[in-house]
Amino acid sequence: MKLHIKNGRLVDPKNGVDRPVDLFIAEGRVAGFGAPPKGFSAERVIDASGLVVAPGLVDLAARLREPGLEYKATLESEMLAAVAGGVTSLACPPDTDPPLDEPGLVEMLKRRAASLNLARVYPVGALTAKLEGERLTEMAELRDHGCVAFSQADVPLPDTQLLWRALQYAATFGFPVWLRPQDPHVAKGGVAHDGEVATRLGLPGIPAFAETIALGTILALVRVTGTRVHLCRLSAGDSVEMVRAAKREGLAVTCDIAAHHLHLSDMDLGYFDSHAHVVPPFRSQRDRDRLRAGLADGTIDAVCSDHTPVDEDAKQLPFGESEPGTTGLELLLPLTLKWSQESRLPLPQALARVTSDPARILGVDAGHLAVGAPADVCIFDPESYVKIASGTLRSQGKNTPFLGYELPGVVRYTLVAGEVRYEAGG
């Protein structure tokens, strides 16, 4: 379709664009700016007055719950949630049921996602068979079938020896490995950040050093193997400092945090609110402040949703028994905007963390709008507020500690490959 998006404020962080200019789309790609390309005749005109026209969001972690966990959510509902949230590309972790450790499973997921014609899905393959941490997966085979990286999701590796060998094997082929740093022994049994709040509430704690110890181990191994490692869902202020030092040293590491960690701390557990039960846990306010600073200065490369739909039954349990996780696809943009407003960051700098920066980590041509780029676009109103309510969330996961919050940023249109895949009020 030939589309003309007029009167919008184009913000394209990668190409340093932030100005009012019209956008022209043809054959699924960006065809031109300002004036229509020669011979262009629009089939549809979108008036983006007062709206921001940005690249579609790139989300590094969104659980779609297929295969195997369809009672929590389905591909249909979650892909609709994605485009409703302005997300046009997403990576899904391998912790499905069964885990994504076989080419056949990866193929099936890609085919199912493609058939829905909504956001683009990039599967992250399992690092070890069944995620059990004993045997490496056929990474090269999985890569050939579409895996963009390899990960253990939230399942910690019990064995440093295996972690070392897995990193070496991945480095052989130049494959990226995505790891959430967590020492399984120190963290065992814990459900909340080990600090004053957990002590008051009587909840078993996960100390911050469960993350930094594992992070130190990973960094030491990366120095030797040279593997491209992406660190997932940092939660501790000390981790940010370690990554800053590692980058200064020249190690090829990147990292992300989950959008909810930008705003909440262990104080938000309140009276045992299981919607605040997440992994990694919300840590202290000081940790949160250091994460915010790290994202602002670029030590932390990207923000993701860590989208994890959980059925209400699994949340309506005492805190320690409840299933951790929060729905996130529809909150990624609002939470990022809220952070950028509170930190007084220019919009392009904030949007980079959910567009061009995650695209770079994913290694795909996304998150930007140069001429010829795929026309994945998110058009949103930065002045309007969205009230987070289970009635209006499209995801089957209504589990979020932000229920009732009013957050900035209402998505009006989402385009994938030049087609409108979401339209507000439509």
Partner 1 sequence: MHNPQLNAKGELAHLLTLEGLPREIIVNILDTAASFVGVTERDVKKVPLLRGKSVFNLFFENSTRTRTTFEIAAKRLSADVINLNITTSSTQKGETLLDTVDNLSAMHADMFVVRHAQSGAPHMIARHVGPERHVINAGDGRHAHPTQGLLDAYTIRHYKHDFGGLSVAIVGDILHSRVARSLIHVLNILGTPDVRVIGPQTLMPAGVESLGVRVCHDMREGLAGVDVVVMLRLQSERMRGPLLPSAQEFFKYYGLTPDKLAAAKPDAIVMHPGPMNRGIEIDSAVADGPRSVILPQVTFGIAVRMAVMSILGGS
CB 162 to partner 1: min, Å: 24
The residue (of 86 and 205) whose beta carbon lies closer to partner 1 is: 205
From 183, 306, 357, 376, the catalytic residue: 306
The residue (of 160 and 316) whose beta carbon lies closer to partner 1 is: 316
The residue (of 141 and 313) whose beta carbon lies closer to partner 1 is: 313
The residue (of 297 and 312) whose beta carbon lies closer to partner 1 is: 312
Distance CA 292, CA 300 (A): 9
Q: Which residue ranges make up the site for partner 1 (CB under 8 A)?
A: 194-196, 198-205, 207, 270-272, 313, 316-321
The residue (of 117 and 316) whose beta carbon lies closer to partner 1 is: 316
The residue (of 276 and 415) whose beta carbon lies closer to partner 1 is: 276
The residue (of 22 and 194) whose beta carbon lies closer to partner 1 is: 194
CB 402 to partner 1: min, Å: 16
Q: Which two tokens stand for residue 106?
A: 């990866």
CB 201 to partner 1: min, Å: 6
Please answer whether residues 368 and 386 qualify as being in contact, where contact means their C-beta atoms are separated by less than 8 angstroms: no
Q: Compute the Cα dihedral for 152, 153, 158, 159 and give only its sign.
A: positive
Q: Compute the Cα dihedral for 348, 352, 353, 355 and give only its sign.
A: positive
Instruction: Based on the residue annotation, tell me whether 306 is a catalytic residue of this protein.
Output: yes
The order of strands in the sheet holding 87-92 is 57-59, 87-92, 120-123
CB 132 to partner 1: min, Å: 25
CB 312 to partner 1: min, Å: 11
Please answer whether residues 269 and 239 qualify as being in contact, where contact means their C-beta atoms are separated by less than 8 angstroms: no
CB 168 to partner 1: min, Å: 32
From the centroid of its chain, how far is CA 269?
Answer: 23
CB 190 to partner 1: min, Å: 11
The residue (of 27 and 313) whose beta carbon lies closer to partner 1 is: 313
Kindly report the CA angle at 3 between 58 and 424, in degrees rounded to 5?
A: 60
CB 239 to partner 1: min, Å: 18
For the annotated catalytic residues, the residue numbers are 306
